[in-house]
Structure formats: C-alpha cells, structure tokens
Chains A and B, each alone.
Chain A
Amino acid sequence: GAGVSQTPSNKVTEKGKYVELRCDPISGHTALYWYRQSLGQGPEFLIYFQGTGAADDSGLPNDRFFAVRPEGSVSTLKIQRTERGDSAVYLCASSLMGSGGPRMQYFGPGTRLTVL
C-alpha cells in the first residue's frame, strides 16, 4: 500500500512569511508524528497526534509553530513568521497503536524548507 506522503517536497520562502506543510499518513494509522531534521543532525521530535488531538506538543520550539489534524488523518504543520533558523527537513511519520503503545513509525520523504 501507499506509504506516508508529504507535500510539498521542497518549499522556499522568505523570512517572515507563513508556510504550511502537509502530511498524509498511511491509511488506518491513528498515530501521527512530526519531526524536524536540521543539517547534519538527527530528527528531533516536534509533536504527536493520537487521532485528532495533539497528545504531546512538547517538542514544538515556540508558539510560531502549530499543527492540526482535524479529521484524524491528514495533518498540517503551520509555521508563522518564518525565520532562517526554521530551515530544515520536516519529517512526518505514522503508526498503528497497540495495547503496549505505538507500533513501528513509518516515515515520509520529508519537506525541505528553506527560509531566505
């Protein structure tokens, strides 16, 4: 079946602009995650959704970052007043949930955001 998809694959914007990044998880996966990967670093956790609600948003760096998942499927990561430091690859992952917690996380190809 189809894997996690993310759009756009690349996004170039100017400092101060607003951007939206989209994630389409694997069908049936109730859990969805956003990670940010800066150049030369490993992915860092941003936020986790269980269904429609954000169960943990402790990784969001500040209040310019916000994410939604209104119908429990597609999620949108929103960044306001972008700064050059926001430039990174934004990765989305999804998983099933088991009795012992989340199952394997499957990652999408990422969106490379460049803020000029």
Chain B
Amino acid sequence: AQKVTQAQTEISVVEKEDVTLDCVYETRDTTYYLFWYKQPPSGELVFLIRRNSFDEQNEISGRYSWNFQKSTSSFNFTITASQVVDSAVYFCALRLTNSGAGSYQLTFGKGTKLSVIP
C-alpha cells in the first residue's frame, strides 16, 4: 500500500519569508506520479504540479519550486517570498502508473496548513 506523510501540520510565516513544505512517500512500485494540490478556504483542490518518478529534475514556476529526491522518497515544495494569498492547506499526493489496482486513485497526505501573516 502507498503512504504519503506530511509531518508539518501547521506552519506560520511572515509575508515575504520563504517556506518549505515537506512530503515523504512510501511505495513498492517503481513508477508513480507525485502531486501537490492547494486547498484554499473555499475548499476546492487546486492542482499545482505533477512529477513522474522517472524525472528527478527540480522545477521552478514563478515563486514555487519543487525538489524531488527519489533516494530519500521526498518531494518538497518551496514558496519563495510568501504572500498572504498563499495561505491554504497544501496536500502532497501519489498515484501509481501501472495498469492495475490503485493506478487511478490518489493517495493524499494529511496536509500542511500554511498561514502567511502580513
């Protein structure tokens, strides 16, 4: 079975600070996708990024960056120069890519609540 652990339950930062959200995953499969979603107070899950297990290249998109390290089974998410609008719950998730059971369901972590204080 798959498992995603987000050890940080809540984080508070002052606006303009950088913040890193940790994600550690467990799976016996060698091929999988990793995701980050944002859930603002409105409740809707907003997709941020998908990473294939074959691609360990880090990615930067504006103020967001992701560090995927297969050796430590981690997929961390950094927000640079945080803003109040970044306040939300952030979820890391995993999905297998084989054709069998579990290849369509997302396994989520418990989420990290980020509060950016003005």
Contacts and interface: CB of A to CB of B under 8 A. Distances in A.
Given A89-B43, A101-B97, A107-B45, A56 B105 contact: yes
B49 to A, nearest CB: 11
A35 to B, nearest CB: 8
A28 interface: no
A104 interface: yes
A108 B105 contact: no
A110 interface: yes
Interface residues of B, number: 22
A91 interface: yes
Bin the interface of chain A by size: 20 to 34
A78 B108 CA distance: 23
B101 interface: yes
Contacts of B93: 42
A109 B44 contact: yes
Contact of B104 (A43, A102, A108): A102
Interface of B: 4, 37, 42-45, 47, 50, 91, 93, 97, 99, 101, 103-111
